[in-house]
Amino acid sequence: MIIDFKHKQGGHCETTVTSNLLRFNNLDITEAMVLGVGAGIYFTYLPFIKVQFAPLMTFRSIPNQIFQTACKQLGIQYKVLKFKTPAEAMSALEENLQKGIPTGIQVGVYHLPFFPPEYRMQYNMHNMICYGMENGKFLISDSVMEEPQWISYDDLARVRFAKGAFAPKGKMYFMTHVPSDIDLKMPIYKGIKKACYNMTKIPFWLVGTKGIHALAKDVKKWPKKQGNEKASFFLGQILRMMEEVGTGGAGYRFMFTAFLQEASGHIFKDELMSSSLDFVEICKKWRAFTSVAVKNCKNRSKPTEDYGMLSDILHDIAEAEHQAFKKLDKVKM
């Protein structure tokens, strides 16, 4: 049994899942628009939490938050379910498929059989869509893969109950009612306001632009505190989270720029287009950071010099983002 669903690749898993589920429900909203309306742009640095033995930092909101926020802003009804056992989770998924409901699921990628080996890591925040089942196998739409993929019952149950940080616990989510006509103006405005609040106003020193400053301070200390080898390993964690973990590059900033440009066609044309240009420059700064960091990880330059340079770049990025989001926050309905 296969649902009439169209697989489409994207830059990031959760925004692609959300956009594709909306498209299935006859609402054509781009991945970039989903990111913006869902206020997915974010930053937090949590050095006391380790992922793959390195400090956690994330350039997006917590798993499933983009989907839920976008649905709320757009007036879409939805359900998010978690389960105690794999059998219970798989039974609920099968029931959804029998009803013709394509379903988003959160999984760990380390044991995902169709993933390329270089993509496999202890990362439990990956999202994909299940939209069919036949002969004990399930049909998957994954943003990473060019074509739909089949996965066995046992393999799917395993990745849905992966262990570790942000364990998915069989999470599945889906839309139950999508309005036939949605005006994007207010959702765009609310998404922008929420993003500006998250990046500049949350009163915690490890979140938003304050979090980027905190990371910058620690990066400078890593060589002496951790040793060059471990410092380079930690630096690789930043690169993975920023460039490889489905972000679309530069920690979602390119995608956020695309959102602002698209949004300018709906409201605040001049203001949002101006802000998008601000973020183009910020994207260049993140890419400059990536360039220096990659050379460091490949031992092509002197670590003690590089970490100071990397710290300076991050401080510069933090200040540029703070000013850009403060400017964006001045937009009024």
Do 160 and 19 share a structural domain? Answer: yes
**Residue 193 domain flag:** no
Do 252 and 167 share a structural domain? Answer: no
Do 127 and 59 share a structural domain? Answer: yes
pLDDT tens-place string over residues 127-162: 999 999 999 999 999 998 999 999 999 999 999 999
Do 220 and 127 share a structural domain? Answer: no
**Residue 3 domain flag:** no
**Vertex 37 angle, CA 33 and 43, to 5°:** 100
User: Domain containing 23 — which CATH number?
Assistant: 3.90.70.10
Q: According to the model, what pLDDT value does residue 301 have?
A: 63
State the pLDDT confidence band at 300, using cuts at 50, 70 and 90.
low
Domain that holds residue 52: 13-177
Do 235 and 169 share a structural domain? Answer: no
Residue 283: partners with Cβ closer than 8 Å, 6 or more residues away: 249, 250, 253, 254, 257
Check residue 279 and give left, alpha or beta (phi > 0: left; psi -120 to 50: alpha). alpha
**Residue 196 domain flag:** no
Cα separation, 33 vs 294, whole angstroms: 30
**Residue 134 domain flag:** yes
Give 84: exposed, middle or buried? Use CB within 10 Å, 0-12, 13-18, 19+: exposed
Q: Token pair of 54, please?
A: 């390195």
Do 115 and 253 share a structural domain? Answer: no
Q: Is the pLDDT of residue 246 over 60?
A: no
Cα separation, 276 vs 327, whole angstroms: 11
Do 172 and 31 share a structural domain? Answer: yes
As a three-state string, the secondary structure of 223-284 is: HHHHCHHHHHHHHHHHHHHHHHCCCCCHHHHHHHHHHHHHHCCCCCHHHHHHHHHHHHHHHH
Q: Is the pLDDT of residue 78 over 80?
A: yes
**Residue 279 domain flag:** yes
Single residue among 177, 194, 226 that ends a domain in this structure: 177
Domain count, the chain: 2
**Residue 272 domain flag:** yes
Do 322 and 258 share a structural domain? Answer: yes
pTM: 0.92
Alpha carbon separation from 138 to 19, 146, 152, 212, 265 (Å, rounded): 21, 17, 6, 41, 39
Mean pLDDT over the full length of the chain: 93
**Residue 108 domain flag:** yes
